[in-house]
Amino acid sequence: MPADRRAERQGALRAALAAEGLDALLVTHLPNVRYLTGFTGSAALLLVHAQSTVLVTDFRYAVQAPEEAGSAADVEVDQKSVWDRLGRVLAGLPQGTVGIEAHSVTVKDAERIAGLTRSRVVPAADHVERLRAVKSPEEVAAIRNAAELAQEALGEVLATIRVGQSEREIGATLEAALRRRGSEWHPFPTIVASGPRSALPHARTSARPVDRGDWLLLDFGAQVDGYCADLTRTVVVGAPADGRQRAIYDLVRCAQGRALQHLRPGMTGREGDALAREVIAGRGFGEAFGHSLGHGLGLEVHEAPRLAPTSEVPIPQGAVVTVEPGVYFAGWGGVRLEDDLFLGADGPELLSNGRTELVELV
C-alpha cells in the first residue's frame, strides 16, 4: 500500500508558511488540494493553519470528501455557500496573516476573502508547487505507469495508421486505446498533426487526411492515480523518409539524446534547456526551435520546474520533467520528440521508453 505522505506534506507547508510570516494559507488550486488532502472533487477551499487543516466543500461531496480526506483534514460541508462556511471557519481562528494563492484566486474572490476575516490577507508565493516539484517514490511510480500505458496504446495505434485517415480518426483511436488500458483521463487535448500542420507545435487535431510521405506528429498523455505522462513521437506515413526529413529527425533526436544523458539536478532551467538548444543552434536551426525544452510533470501536465532559456531557478533533486526539443518549418512540417525523465540522486532515469528511432509506416 502506498505511503500516506499527506501529514508530511502539510508539515513542510506549515514550516514554509512560518518562515514567510504567514499564519495560514488558503489553498484554492485543486491539484494542490488533492496533493495535501487526497480530495479529488471540483469544489474545495482548503485552509491550512498552524493548528488545523479544514476542507470546505459543498453537498455534492458530502460523502466523497470525508472518505478521501480521512484524517488529513476536518471536512466542512455547506448546503448553501462554501464562502459563508469559510467565513465561519476564519472567524474561529486568531487574527493573523492569511496567504492566498495569487495564481489561482481571481481579483473578485480575493476581495471576497478579505471581507470574510479580520485577518490580513496577502498574496503568497507558490509554496505548494515548490513541494510538488520534488516527487516521492509513489509519485514517480505513478508517472512511470502512465508512461508505460501510453506507450502500449501508441504501439497499438501505429500499426493501424494508413494514408487517407484523418487526424481526428487517428486521435480518436489513440484516445480509446489509452482509456481501454486504464488512463483516468487525457491530461491535455491530444495533438495529431500531419504534413505541414506538424509545424504547429500546439496544433488542434483537424479533419485533414494524412497524405503519403507526410510527417505525423502525435503528442498525447495518460493519467494514473492522478499523475500524468506526456509523450510525443513523430513518424512518416506511407513512404520512406526523404533526405531532408531524415536529417531534421536525426538532429532533433541528437539534441534530445544529449539532454536526456546530461540533465542533472542543480542545473538551472536555462542550463538544462541549453543542452538541447546548443545542438540545434549549432546546425543553424536555432530559430526553428521556438519553445522551451520541457516542464515539470505530476498532478498537472505543466508544473514546476521549467527547462527554459529564461529560467534561472535550479532544478531540484527528485523532479520529473519532460524533454521535448522540436524543429519546425512553416509549410513543410516539424519534428518533436518527448520523453519523461526523473532526476534523482543517482542520475537521470527515463520513465518513458526513449524509443525514438525513426518510424516509417510503409
CATH of the domain at 70: 3.40.350.10
Do 117 and 150 lie in one domain? The reply is no
Q: The domain containing residue 244 runs over which residues?
A: 137-361
Do 234 and 184 lie in one domain? The reply is yes
Residue 123's DSSP bridge partners are: 100
Number of domains in the chain: 2
Do 143 and 122 lie in one domain? The reply is no
Do 158 and 119 lie in one domain? The reply is no
> What is the pLDDT at residue 2?
78
How far, in Å, CA of 60 to CA of 336, rounded?
42
How far, in Å, CA of 79 to CA of 57, rounded?
9
CA atoms within 13 A on the CB side of 287: 3
For the chain, the 3-state helix, strand and coil shares in percent, each to the nearest 5, are 40, 25, 35
Among residues 90, 107, 132, the one where a domain terminates is 132
Cβ pair 221, 147 in contact under 8 A: no
**What pTM does this model have?**
0.96
How far, in Å, CA of 327 to CA of 288, rounded?
5
Q: What are the mean pLDDT values of the chain's consecutive 10-residue runs (362 residues total)?
A: 92 97 97 98 96 96 98 95 95 95 94 95 95 98 98 98 98 98 96 98 97 98 98 98 98 98 98 98 98 98 98 98 98 98 96 97 96
Residue 200's DSSP bridge partners are: none
Pairing of strands 97-101, 24-27: parallel
Amino acid letter, 128: V
Amino acid letter, 122: V
How far, in Å, CA of 216 to CA of 335, rounded?
9
Do 147 and 271 lie in one domain? The reply is yes
Dig out the grid coordinates for 256 from the structure. Answer: 534530445
Do 182 and 263 lie in one domain? The reply is yes
Do 107 and 16 lie in one domain? The reply is yes
